[in-house]
Chain A
Amino acid sequence: MGFEYVRASDVAGAVAMVSADPEASFLAGGTTHLDLLVKDAVITTSRVVDITRLPLRGVTRAGDVLRVGALTTMEELAAEQVVAERLPVLREALLAGASPQLRNMATIGGNLLQRTRCRYFRDRAVAACNKRAPGSGCAAVTQIARMHAILGASEHCIALHASDLCVALAALDAIVTVQGPRGAERRIPLTELYVVPGDRPNVENVLEHGELITHVEVPLLPVGARSGYLKVRDRASYEFALTSAAAAVVMNGDTIEQARLGLGGVGTVPWRAREAEALLTGAPATVASFRAAAEAAIENPYVVPGTAFKVELAKRTIVRVLETICELRS
């Protein structure tokens, strides 16, 4: 059960070491790797390759795009002046996640690849988990489910992608850059990084074993855009979302010229609500417009008794965040 600890000194070396061993894994902030590995024994590894000393830390700006090193911590990114000025939704999503201690540890790249918080996945005593043991079923569908997904979900899996950050990044059209064993860098839109579980919940993303996220590119919002992140949860802070929404709009008078909307707490993957965005674009900034967009955003949810409340809560979360950023509500 033991594993080897290796510290990588450059990106190519780190990629080579993990690629060469199907049982090896990268270790960054560790906040949702070490718990699954060392505490809960849900995952195993032969070797952890510590990548925290790789030169992938820090934020640079090229024109209207931020290039965020994958090892930048959540706190570091939230503290960037340009994020406060041009990406309020990103800053709010970052600071709504976890706790200051965890945000000092957790990296941006690691946040993207965090595993689900589904209790059935995280408990080896539970037999039925298609994500952990393909083909075994889904305990969450028939048992207590509250912190689970209603979009991109099915009887095979309702495990939630719990990131707040990724909800904002999905709305912002972030691009993930990836270094693989064959050397060429891949650029993947964040919304295409993830795979909706379908009947293979064990496949969570399009990365190959050994591929390493090196940067996340985030286009800045236009000057004058309004944006915000609203997270609804069971306690005021340090809690995962029941529902959340990341929204950004560009207004022309009272008309919405551009709209971006990401949803959290509801999706098996970070959710981009494109139908809702299409309805909002060109619409007047009114509660009626927002409600119509919300109805479109939560279409055909897959619910179990424990998650049924999320359908209406998610719609109201969308309406509320739009009311707030459009200043219909103080």
Chain B
Amino acid sequence: MSEAILVTGAAGSVGSTVVDVELAVNGATRQLTLDCAVTLLDALREHLQLVGTKKGCDQGACGACTVLLDGKRVLSCLTLAAQCEGRQVTTIEGLAPGAELHPLQAAFLRHDAFQCGYCTAGQIMSAVALLEEGRTRSDAEIREFMSGNLCRCGAYPNIVAAIRDVAATRSA
């Protein structure tokens, strides 16, 4: 009755610091054997070669590593990969099929919403969630609810403009 599910698999013997994880990323399922301490961010970048998600501060302060987990924006640097089993991970690579751009990706290009580009994937993933959350009713609201994504180049005005543009299209 009172039992825990020990994570199973070849690596998952009791006391093991290695774990087998099945990750569903951008609609595809991948089987990985990872150290238990591996974050979702490192699993994506180092094990699945999905390097669109960026490692900025790696301690939850900058937002560059933002991905969607079951549709909600989270920081992949402070999430263990093992915690994501059975949940849907969406990264910047999974936003748009084929050569098409997601409307926010197109808007970021149109509005020149980046300079060095390092924070951009995180900004766009965060903005995708922002639109879903309906928090785009004013520039002030966009700024407040995008505050978890830092841009050291200071492209904020153009980031806000890009989001405002897509939000207007959606509500039109």
Contact = CB atoms under 8 A, between A and B. Distances in A.
A297 interface: no
A302 to B, nearest CB: 28
B100 to A, nearest CB: 26
Contacts of B69: 104
Given A8-B4, A13-B3, A31-B60, A100 B129 contact: yes
B4 A6 contact: yes
Given A3-B17, A5-B7, A50 B2 contact: no
A50 B82 contact: yes
A317 interface: no
Residue of B17, B58, B73, B78 with highest tally of chain A CB at under 10 A: B78
B50 interface: no
Given A100-B145, A104-B73, A49 B37 contact: no
A12 interface: yes
Contacts of B75: 31, 101-102, 105
A13 B126 CA distance: 36
A14 B36 contact: no
Given A30-B78, A237-B143, A2 B129 contact: no
Contacts of A52: 83
Contacts of B143: 236-237
B37 A102 contact: no
Interface stretch (A34-42, A157-165, A199-207): A34-42
A225 interface: no
Determine the main DSSP class of A at the interface with B. mixed
A22 to B, nearest CB: 15
Contacts of A4: 14-17, 36
A274 interface: no
Given A3-B36, A99-B63, A104 B4 contact: no
A4 B36 CA distance: 6
B20 to A, nearest CB: 10
A312 interface: no
A6 B7 contact: yes
Contact of B2 (A7, A10, A48, A99): A10
Interface string A16-46: 1100000000010011001101111000000
B59 interface: yes
Contacts of B85: 7
B80 A34 contact: yes
B60 A7 contact: no
A98 B66 CA distance: 14
A31 B65 CA distance: 14
B80 to A, nearest CB: 7
Residue of A5, A30, A98 with highest tally of chain B CB at under 10 A: A5
Contacts of B126: 100-101
Nearest to A75: B72
Interface in B81-135: 82-83, 85, 126, 129-130, 133
A102 B4 contact: no
A35 B62 CA distance: 13
A13 B74 CA distance: 27
Given A30-B78, A98-B148, A99-B63, A9 B73 contact: no
The 5 closest A-B pairs by CB, nearest first: A99-B148, A2-B17, A237-B147, A12-B2, A5-B36
Given A2-B35, A5-B80, A236-B143, 10 more contacts: A7-B7, A10-B4, A39-B58, A39-B59, A48-B36, A101-B66, A101-B73, A104-B73, A105-B74, A238-B147
29 contacts: A2-B37, A3-B17, A5-B7, A5-B36, A7-B6, A7-B7, A8-B4, A10-B1, A13-B3, A30-B78, A31-B60, A34-B80, A38-B39, A39-B59, A48-B80, A49-B4, A50-B83, A99-B63, A99-B149, A100-B73, A100-B129, A100-B130, A100-B148, A101-B73, A102-B75, A104-B74, A105-B74, A237-B143, A238-B148
Interface of A: 2-10, 12-14, 16-17, 27, 30-31, 34-35, 37-40, 48-50, 52, 75, 98-102, 104-105, 236-238
